[in-house]
A = this chain, B = another copy of it.
Amino acid sequence: MAVYTDVTDEALFAFLSAYDLGAVLSFKGIAEGVENSNFLLHCEAGRFILTLYEKRVRPNDLPFFIGLMEHLAAKKLSCPLPVKRRDGEALGTLAGRPAAIVTFLDGVSVRKPEARQCAETGRALAQLHLAGGDFGLFRRNALSVAHWPELFAASRARADEVSPGLAQEIAAELDSLERLWPCDLPQGVIHADLFPDNVFFIGPKLSGLIDFYFACNDALAYDLAICLNAWCFEPDGSFNATKGRALLQGYQSLRPLEDVERGALPVLARGAAMRFLLTRLYDWLNVPPGALVKPKNPLEYLSKLRFHQTIDNAGEYGLIE
């Protein structure tokens, strides 16, 4: 849950005076998003999400995120649309932080995705990749293979507190990943964090994608590998190949993978597991005092990483050649 910053009614009304949204009907902090403070804002003009960007988001990246949502919404992808002030700007300042208002998306995220929801998510991811094809801004992935060694360095000394032998296992895997990581894959804009809590459904139907604050440019198939990890494992740690097949088929129904992407999928999935293992490990070892967010267990991703190390080819994920 996340409401890191307190917004008074006075500050809110001053902020909203730059917009044409009518009177405020309600305003509530919501338990959504981990990096930022989010509020549900209901005005005469409709329902919106007001986001205050907290310190983990770099202000320089905001035009990329805001511009991407505008670009994707214009291409009919169902995602939040930034709302402009009367002066044409979508970014303002509230309670000393950069802040933006986006349209509210109906829908509920699922805790235990079913195969058909994996399929819909695969389709939506492909839609996003296609729609992002002609987006004009560029943002390097700050959490990709080149950054993992430094991320690991920040946790290495204490990694074995979490699980004996963990430091050595990660070090060895980072060596392998550096050697094996493909650099000839189709690139584009990726979501980079399309976990089930960022995908909304109304009944069986996918209603939209949210939280573009890790979006960046990277290999498209790496985004799919992140989803394989996030959507297709069971709570007991086992890989559900039915869900894997559904996700991959959903994706390929709109954007068939190239041979080089299929071949790279196992190593991309290892890398995707490593990226979340490392950030979770860091967060686990560095819980700030008074934190409102319970850190996620890094070992879930160690188990996924070990699974992918046993995979020879993408057919084992349910990919039909």
A: residues with CB less than 8 A from B are 1, 3, 8-10, 12, 23-32, 40, 42, 104-112, 200, 202-203, 290, 292, 294
Contacts and interface: CB of A to CB of B under 8 A. Distances in A.
B26 A106 contact: yes
B42 A106 contact: yes
| Count of this chain's copies in the oligomeric assembly | 2
A107 B1 contact: no
B202 A9 contact: no
A40 to B, nearest CB: 7
A43 to B, nearest CB: 11
B28 A111 contact: no
The 4 closest A-B pairs by CB, nearest first: A29-B31, A8-B111, A25-B106, A3-B31
B112 A10 contact: yes
A110 B9 contact: yes
A144 to B, nearest CB: 31
A115 to B, nearest CB: 16
A294 B42 CA distance: 27
Contacts of A23: 202-203
A108 B3 contact: no
A1 B110 contact: no
Nearest to A294: B290
A111 B10 contact: yes
A30 B29 contact: yes
Q: Which of A31, A106, A112 has the most chain B CB within a 10 Å cutoff?
A: A31
B8 A107 contact: no
Nearest to A24: B108
B29 A1 contact: yes
Contacts of A28: 30-32, 40
Contacts of A105: 26
Contacts of A9: 108-111
A110 B13 CA distance: 11
Q: Which of A26, A32, A110, A294 has the most chain B CB within a 10 Å cutoff?
A: A26
Contacts of A31: 1, 3, 28-31
7 contacts: A1-B292, A8-B112, A10-B112, A23-B203, A25-B106, A25-B108, A40-B40
